Structure 1
């Protein structure tokens, strides 16, 4: 859905997104998880070491693999969640309406507000479109949760669009991934955030449930 929205964005908006460190968000495709694969694997996850303890030893999703899979770089200013973000401030930044004390917004509410191309005629709201798109992409691909929503405070890091690259997005998202895996190992339900990279990681590193090629004559190894 992120890619579909990206394809109909105005050229000027695409150029601004493409020039940021989050440009590959538009190319990430999330898929349904193979629960038969993820469930047993999480039994091998140790939160104390943030690694899988398998018969061959310890193995984990490294920052290098994370960067290669997402294109989101490490380094920059640490991302600390702002204590407050009022409904008025959120509306000014995104053009989206929320109620007082609301902490998350449903992705459907974001796309419903800005999906119509006739709303982009006014160049004055281009910044709101960009922030809303990036917030939507964060909720869909990186900081997603079981509520199919996204924390409204993330828009704080898009307030100055010229400073988007100055934040440590890789560090924050990678930490969120590890935290998600920790919760799963404790019995939490559902795979949140960027946990979908766990499935291709299994294909490549452990050769578990590797998809078969349609042409049996072609040999291929995922690493």
Structure 2
């Protein structure tokens, strides 16, 4: 009977036991039954998944620890970023038209248009807790969703078509590295700024590998490199790493994840003050001041609650349909690859793009997706691969199978039927609920009222779960038992004894009779 893991027949039997010959007052009798049930029956809740077929790594996920030990996970993950110094310099010394022209020629103009934006650590942390590294999707109550190649192309205008960001990590001597920095960057780093093959550009505790400088040799050729797939690979890898229970920090392109959430999830999005003219990639509409009056900000508990109880109408599946024709051409330059099932490569990183799991984002009917095409062993191997100690490796050879698959991605474009009425097939949600983690937080975990925002997301989800059990139940006593279980688990058991503000059973019966007579007429 779903995530409420219970023997409802036992509960029903105890609730309906015969009273003594001397009948007490009905409310007193019910109260005694409930009190006796409390002492003799302990409630259980299964957070999910009910089947380990899809989320076979769920026991190693941060979400399970949040459920079991909420007090240890009250704080947000620290988001590290290395672009503050860049944007500070841009504010002090604006980029001239000549340099801006080079940047746009290389395919990075959309990043300039989008500008600097603070990162809400609480929002990113809440999304990490919903991220599943087996499927590279977020598991929300409405189904699976994710950041796709389409999102990267539309939001930042980064090129998708082209060669992968991958090559040989050749060793450089100190003098060779210094000469390369002087020739391509215009400065010679000091001894303490070079460490092997990496350069330390500022004090943000982020390192940039020198092998990226080779792409500055010919800026005009940069547009023929798939920077969009590299960004998505980096995003996926960092999200996967952050799902570890002991993860305390996170890096990577979290700016695009935040904008993606604002664009698609209504209940977490602020409102831009200014009017957007659609003359730049869509992320640029979030540049400038935002109105946060109706949106949660920097509160992890509130974001958890919102994501745990998000409804179908609160998620915008086809966000770009109404605006795609008004955006610059760079935002649709990779449309032929948007629905490709393919590897995403960024040097040593290989992550996988599974559009078949989020077909509603492309305006197509969602079917039960096929099994993940990777073995558990191969998935673990890919996630453990790092560039440390791999000097001299040619990653195009090490990842030759995946490089080949990338070049043939147009052969693996997922097709589907356009949504006309129902966005999912009949048995998709049943399948999904059986394979997802439904409860991130325990609706019974807070016996003492919390300070600040009260997280009712799990409680709302649990009541919805219970109503589904009741609706499918043919036995009145079992339905009553499920209702009692739901009210007790939500710590609202006393309300079952109070007058209801809904129509009484007699009124409902009378209304149904009147309706029947109307139809007969």
The question of whether the paired residues in 1 share the 8 Å contact of 2:199 and 2:208 is answered with yes
RMSD: 2.9
CA distance 1:51–1:32, shift in 2 (3 Å): same
Q: Deviations over 1:36-74 (max 9, x none)?
A: 222222111111110011111111111111211111020
Q: Offset at 1:208?
A: 3.3
Q: Does 1:103 align with 2:198?
A: yes
Q: Offset at 1:155?
A: 1.1
- Find the counterpart in structure 2 of residue 138 from structure 1: none
- Find the counterpart in structure 1 of residue 95 from structure 2: 9
Q: Does 1:89 align with 2:180?
A: yes
Q: Does 1:199 align with 2:258?
A: yes
TM superposition score normalised by structure 1: 0.69
Q: Distance in 2 between matches of 1:47 and 1:100?
A: 32
Q: Deviations over 1:111-132 (max 9, x none)?
A: xxxxxxxxxxxxxxxxxxxxxx
CA distance 1:154–1:208, shift in 2 (3 Å): farther
Q: Aligned pair count? A: 182
Q: Distance in 1 between matches of 2:258 and 2:165?
A: 27
CA distance 1:10–1:200, shift in 2 (3 Å): closer
Q: Which runs of 5+ in 1 are unaligned?
A: 109-145
The question of whether the paired residues in 1 share the 8 Å contact of 2:107 and 2:158 is answered with yes
Q: Which runs of 5+ in 2 are unaligned?
A: 1-85, 274-290, 294-314, 320-521
The question of whether the paired residues in 1 share the 8 Å contact of 2:128 and 2:242 is answered with yes
Q: Distance in 2 between matches of 1:181 and 1:68?
A: 21
Q: Offset at 1:102?
A: 4.5
Q: Distance in 2 between matches of 1:3 and 1:15?
A: 20
- Find the counterpart in structure 2 of residue 27 from structure 1: 113
Q: Offset at 1:18?
A: 2.7
Q: Deviations over 1:135-182 (max 9, x none)?
A: xxxxxxxxxxx6244322211111122211121111111111111111
Q: Offset at 1:94?
A: 1.6
Bigger Rg over Cα = 2
Q: Does 1:65 align with 2:151?
A: yes
Aligned with 1:36 (options 105, 108, 122): 122
The question of whether the paired residues in 1 share the 8 Å contact of 2:149 and 2:232 is answered with yes
CA distance 1:208–1:196, shift in 2 (3 Å): farther
Q: Offset at 1:201?
A: 2.0
TM superposition score normalised by structure 2: 0.32
- Find the counterpart in structure 1 of residue 138 from structure 2: 52
Q: Distance in 1 between matches of 2:258 and 2:195?
A: 38
- Find the counterpart in structure 1 of residue 210 from structure 2: 152
* Secondary structure of the corresponding residue to residue 106 of structure 1: coil
Higher relative contact order structure (alpha carbons within 8 Å, sequence separation ≥ 6): 1
Q: Offset at 1:3?
A: 8.2
CA distance 1:152–1:166, shift in 2 (3 Å): same
Q: Deviations over 1:1-24 (max 9, x none)?
A: 448628633432222223331122
Q: Distance in 1 between matches of 2:260 and 2:160?
A: 19
Q: Distance in 2 between matches of 1:149 and 1:28?
A: 23
